[in-house]
């Protein structure tokens, strides 16, 4: 890997069809979390760069062709982007792995999902009717409800799934005919920068797509408050999301928030009645908690298991968690990469420390691993951790850890399981494991979570809406509702035979 001193800052701010450096000349090193070494340097934008990008997006929306481009042409461009993503899958998958610390295999899957999102929204808008006719009760009245683009969209994305989360916003925004400014996380901006290049290559007009690389407290804050922004879509933590909503309120712009989660994975004893069922439930509990080192908003970080199978289930879970191979995501055989930053690892460590002080029992993990050739000592690695005997009063159970930490709670009855699963400020996702179809439907129906998986965990469908209840946010992504976020509704009423009303005599 190149020495960071030899790296040259890239012009990663794109506004009005031109790549450039930050107005201030500032830059930021992008670190590989596997060894904490810089592998890229990007422009560090601020409020001035944001204003330039928003102005470009405003001009492109008010004066440019994109909002008035036929739907079939917009859909064709999205499909071209999907093709370019497939073409560059290996390069982008590797870059995503290096940027976010995940395995290359996970990075490739992410790129496949990004391409799927662009194809889905292309197909969705291409198949739509031009408007919904409203019966006005007269042959002389033509009344129709149509959908139009919102305008300039400010898109703020998180660091854990940089390109995937960006695509969930960019694809529907473009499909609807909007222009946008995207701010990727300052920690993991590289693949979003690459995507802007692909949009340009696909033929998107100048000014439609704009990107400002920089921190949230300057770039993100300015985007949220900017009077020329019509919509702000934010994915990230609760504290930052609250600030975005407050900043957007004075201009009464549309706001879509996809925030945190503290997601239950409920395992009933009947799901473990056979060896195959037991093995599957354990395997999926590991997947729910430890994929991408638990840095997933929908991670099944709360295992809620029926008391009669708890001891066996937790023992096998801990045994297998100890065997998860940590390392650089580009190394063969590595199953889990590092945390994204030193700060994130310190946060995880503080949660584990507080849990142990509050009475949790450590079954495995709970520390930094020993260095190895595939796992440099300078990397931000942390062992998959299982904390048993947890209860609702513990911080680690209530708050989003965003790391490889699984807490274990137990229940005796179905009602108790549902009560525990719903006992959270968040309501993003959850899982239910049972061999009883009736129980599966009952419990899924009672859970206050935006997505409920039955006998599975983590899959998502582009056709299905993604969002949450409670403090998990107010926005909806994917599916028809995801497209609706980026539209305004207009009622057009045409009188084909106008006549005097004669209310006033004159």
Sort 362 into a burial class: Cβ within 10 Å, 0-12 / 13-18 / 19+.
middle
Q: Catalytic site residue 153?
A: no
Helix (H, G, I), strand (E, B) or coil at 261: coil
State the DSSP string of 161-226. SHHHHHHHHHHHHHHTT-EEEEE--SSS-HHHHHHHHHHHHTTPPTTTEEE--S-IIIIIHHHHH-
> Which helix or strand (DSSP H or E) is residue 398 part of?
helix 395-398
| Cβ count within 10 A of residue 172 | 30
Distance of CA 91 to the CA centre of its chain: 21
Structure tokens belonging to residue 111: 């790129």
Q: Phi, psi at residue 148, to the nearest 5°? A: -130, 160
Q: Phi, psi at residue 143, to the nearest 5°? A: -125, 125
Q: Which residues contact 178 (CB under 8 A, 6 or more apart)?
A: 61, 67, 149, 150, 151, 152, 153, 231, 486
CA–CA gap between residue 12 and residue 189 (Å, rounded): 9
Task: Pick the catalytic residue from 297, 336, 364, 390.
Answer: 297
Task: Pick the catalytic residue from 186, 258, 316, 409.
Answer: 258
CA–CA gap between residue 336 and residue 381 (Å, rounded): 9
Helices 71-87, 190-201: crossing angle, 10 deg rounding: 130
Bridge partner list, 361: 388
- Angle CA(415)–CA(279)–CA(263) in degrees, nearest 5? 45
- Of 462, 1, 10, nearest in space to 197 by CA: 10
> Which helix or strand (DSSP H or E) is residue 453 part of?
strand 451-454
Q: Does residue 122 contact residue 72 with C-beta atoms inside 8 Å?
A: no
Alpha-carbon dihedral of residues 277, 279, 284, 287, nearest 10 degrees? Answer: -170
C-alpha neighbours within 13 Å on the C-beta side of residue 229:
32
Sign of CA dihedral 490, 495, 498, 504: negative
Q: Catalytic site residue 485?
A: no
Sort 448 into a burial class: Cβ within 10 Å, 0-12 / 13-18 / 19+.
middle
Active site residues: 258, 297
């Amino acid at each position: 890997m190149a020495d960071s001193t030899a790296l040259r800052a890239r012009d990663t701010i794109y506004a009005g069809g031109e790549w450039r450096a930050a107005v201030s000349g500032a830059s930021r090193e992008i670190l590989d979390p596997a060894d904490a070494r810089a592998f890229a340097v990007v422009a560090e934008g601020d409020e001035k760069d944001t204003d330039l990008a928003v102005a470009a997006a405003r001009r492109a929306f008010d004066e440019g062709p994109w909002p008035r481009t036929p739907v079939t042409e917009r859909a064709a461009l999205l499909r071209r982007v999907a093709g370019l993503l497939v073409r560059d899958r290996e390069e982008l998958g590797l870059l995503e792995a290096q940027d976010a610390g995940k395995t290359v295999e996970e990075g490739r899957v992410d790129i496949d999902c990004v391409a799927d999102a662009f194809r889905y929204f292309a197909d969705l808008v291409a198949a739509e009717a031009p408007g919904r006719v409203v019966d006005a009760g007269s042959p002389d009245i033509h009344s129709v409800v149509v959908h139009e683009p919102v305008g300039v969209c400010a898109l703020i994305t998180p660091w854990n799934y940089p390109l995937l989360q960006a695509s969930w916003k960019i694809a529907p925004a473009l499909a609807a005919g909007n222009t946008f400014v995207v701010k990727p996380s300052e920690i993991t901006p590289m693949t979003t920068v690459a995507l802007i290049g692909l949009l340009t290559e696909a033929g998107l007009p100048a000014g439609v797509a704009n990107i400002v690389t920089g921190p949230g407290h300057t770039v993100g804050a300015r985007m949220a408050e900017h009077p020329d922004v019509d919509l702000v879509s934010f994915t990230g933590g609760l504290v930052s999301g609250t600030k975005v909503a407050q900043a957007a309120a004075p201009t009464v712009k549309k706001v879509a928030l996809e925030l945190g989660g503290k997601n239950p994975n409920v395992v009933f004893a009947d799901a473990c009645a056979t060896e195959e069922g037991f093995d599957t439930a354990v395997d999926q509990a590991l997947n729910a908690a430890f994929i991408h080192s638990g840095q997933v908003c929908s991670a099944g970080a709360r295992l809620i298991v029926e008391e009669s199978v708890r001891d066996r289930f937790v023992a096998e879970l801990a045994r297998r968690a100890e065997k998860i191979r940590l390392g650089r995501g580009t190394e063969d055989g590595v199953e889990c990469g590092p945390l994204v930053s030193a700060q994130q690892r310190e946060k995880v460590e503080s949660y584990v420390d507080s849990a142990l002080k509050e009475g949790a029992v450590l079954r495995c993990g709970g520390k930094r691993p020993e260095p190895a050739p595939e796992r440099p000592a300078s990397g931000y690695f942390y062992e998959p951790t299982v904390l048993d005997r947890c209860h609702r009063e513990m911080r680690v159970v209530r708050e989003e850890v965003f790391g490889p930490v699984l807490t274990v709670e137990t229940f005796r009855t179905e009602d108790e399981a549902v009560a525990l699963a719903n006992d959270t400020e968040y309501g993003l996702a959850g899982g239910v494991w049972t061999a009883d179809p009736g129980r599966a439907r009952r419990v899924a129906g009672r859970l206050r979570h935006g997505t409920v998986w039955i006998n599975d965990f983590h899959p998502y469908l582009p056709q299905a809406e993604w969002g949450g209840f409670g403090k998990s946010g107010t926005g909806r992504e994917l599916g028809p509702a995801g497209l609706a976020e980026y539209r305004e509704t207009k009622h057009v009423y045409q009188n084909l035979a106008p006549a005097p009303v004669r209310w006033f005599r004159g």
